[in-house]
Amino acid sequence: MAGGAAALLVFAGLVVGLRRARRAAPPPKPKLPPPAPPTREVTPPEGAVPVPVTVEVPRPAPAPPRPNWSAGLSRSRAGFVGKLEGLLRGRASLDEQTLGEVETVLYGADLGVRTAGEFLAVVRRLRSPEEVRSALEARAREILESLPSSVDEPREKPHVILVVGVNGSGKTTTIGKLAARYARAGKQVIVAAGDTYRAAAIDQLAIWAERAGVEIVKGAPGGDPASVAFDALKSARARGVDVVLVDTAGRLQTDQGLMDELAKIQRVMRKELPSAPHEVLLVLDANTGQNAIRQAQEFKKAVAITGIALTKLDGTARGGVVLGIAQEVSLPVRYAGLGESLDDLADFDSAEFAKALFEPAAE
């Protein structure tokens, strides 16, 4: 009996010992993920203004092949400059009859009446037909170089570019090309699919974003373009993105409802970033000739356009419209579309443009 009790005591002692041992050496804890950062309020409290981060204005990398202005403007050169050349060839002097013919050519070109009038005044002051070409080239250059550039001051980050224009002018294509140039300059870019009217427009921008290697922020088709722009800005600010390019649906300058929508997009963006947009790029199709001047005048009334991207200069004889836009609307032409592929967007160069437009035709 005493032996059985001793065995029981030993067993009980063993159980207690084991329990103590377990308590002393707890099992290894499962590995936990690192603690989550404390959640931050992303929506600023009512009335608070986000702290601005001021940076140098990001620059897109240069267009990779040097733009061939001469080839790009060959059809425009054949237009009014070719006609002028034809009529002046073999004339001994700038007599009244010749000046009358020069006047007809100038006013029939897509220069706008102001530029046509100035060019005529320049020609009237000359002594011989041989001086016409270089005198007009010099005046064209002066007109283009006198335009103000308003985007050189340091701005808040991200640099926001709102892209507007009539249907089919080349907005989405220009955004794709610009996004690629900013990305090549080492900038982080978001494109915002603010054309929510057509699902195909969102898909088209997504294809350009992929080609350019940049991110896209989309909304639902039929959604509010202003909220897509707002979301893109919020996301860009949260992640330190450098450039936001906002696509918009094409709209006729005569459609007041749609023009008001542009102002709304601008207002809503300013709730997130009060200085946005830093650039409003009006995309004009050079083929539309003088109508492009009217478009610029009307868009300017709805939003503060800072510059123009003139597209399809490669396929038109109406490149002279650049001068009309510059003079009658007083807006700088920033970019020139010289083709349909990713690399076909050049910085507008006044000197190259004027030179190519007035270049003598190859004999």
* Residues at the interface with ligand GTP (CB under 6 A): 165, 167-173, 195, 201, 250, 283, 311-312, 314-315, 337-340, 344
* Residue span binding Mg ion (CB under 5 A) among the ranges 88-96, 122-130, 171-179, 238-246: 171-179
The C-alpha atoms of residue 261 and residue 303 are separated, in whole angstroms, by 10
Indicate the residue among 91 and 300 with the shorter CB distance to ligand GTP. Answer: 300
- Choice between 88 and 175, CB closer to ligand GTP: 175
How near is the Cβ of 175 to ligand GTP at its closest, in Å?
8
**Token output for 15:** 């159980």
The site partner of 279 among ligand GTP, Mg ion, none (C-beta below 5 to 8 Å per kind) is none
Selection from Mg ion, ligand GTP, none that 311 binds (CB < 5 to 8 A by kind) is ligand GTP
Shortest distance, position 344 Cβ to ligand GTP, whole Å: 6
- Shortest reach from residue 248's CB to ligand GTP, in Å: 8
139 sits in which H/E element:
helix 132-145
Smallest gap from residue 339 Cβ to ligand GTP (A): 5
For ligand GTP, which is the closer residue by CB, 242 or 344? 344
Closer CB to ligand GTP, 67 or 129, in the complex:
67
Indicate the residue among 173 and 306 with the shorter CB distance to ligand GTP.
173
The binder of Mg ion chosen from 76, 172, 253, 266 (CB under 5 A): 172
Which residue in this structure is represented by tokens 């700088």? Answer: 332
Q: For residue 141, give both structure tokens.
A: 């250059």
The identity of residue 249, as a single letter, is A
Identify whether the C-beta of residue 159 lies closer than 8 Å to the C-beta of residue 226: no
Q: Fill in the DSSP letter of residue 348.
A: P
Q: Which of ligand GTP, Mg ion, none does residue 168 bind (CB under 5 to 8 Å by kind)?
A: ligand GTP
Residue 164: which of 39, 303, 275, 33 has the closest Cα? 303
Residue 337 interface partner, choices ligand GTP, Mg ion, none, CB cut-off 5-8 Å depending on type: ligand GTP
327 contact choice in Mg ion, ligand GTP, none (CB below 5 to 8 Å, kind-dependent): none
**Which of Mg ion, ligand GTP, none sits in contact with 275, Cβ below 5 to 8 A by type?**
none
Backbone Cα Rg of the chain: 32
Residue 258 Cβ vs ligand GTP, minimum distance, rounded to whole Å: 11
Residue least distant from Mg ion (Cβ): 172
- The residue (of 129 and 250) whose beta carbon lies closer to ligand GTP is 250
Burial (CB count <10 Å: 0-12, 13-18, 19+), residue 238: exposed
Q: What's the closest the beta carbon of residue 297 comes to ligand GTP, in angstroms?
A: 19
The C-alpha angle 187, 188, 194, rounded to 5 degrees, equals: 120
Q: How many CA atoms lie within 13 A of 278 on its CB side?
A: 21
Which burial class, exposed, middle or buried, applies to 18 when counting CB atoms under 10 A from its CB (0-12, 13-18, 19+)?
exposed
Whether the CB-CB separation of 65 and 87 falls below 8 Å is answered with no
Q: How many residues bind Mg ion (CB under 5 A)?
A: 2
With tokens 């001469």, the residue in question is: 70
Q: How far is the CB of 207 from ligand GTP (least distance, A)?
A: 11
Within 300-319, the residues that bind Mg ion by CB under 5 A are: none
Q: Choose between 69 and 208: whose C-beta lies nearer to Mg ion.
A: 208
Give the rounded distance of the alpha carbon of 177 from its chain centre: 9
The DSSP annotation for 232-278 comes to HHHHHHHHT-SEEEE------TT-HHHHHHHHHHHHHHHHH-TT--S
CB nearer to ligand GTP: pick between 171 and 334: 171
Point out which residues bind Mg ion (CB under 5 A): 171-172
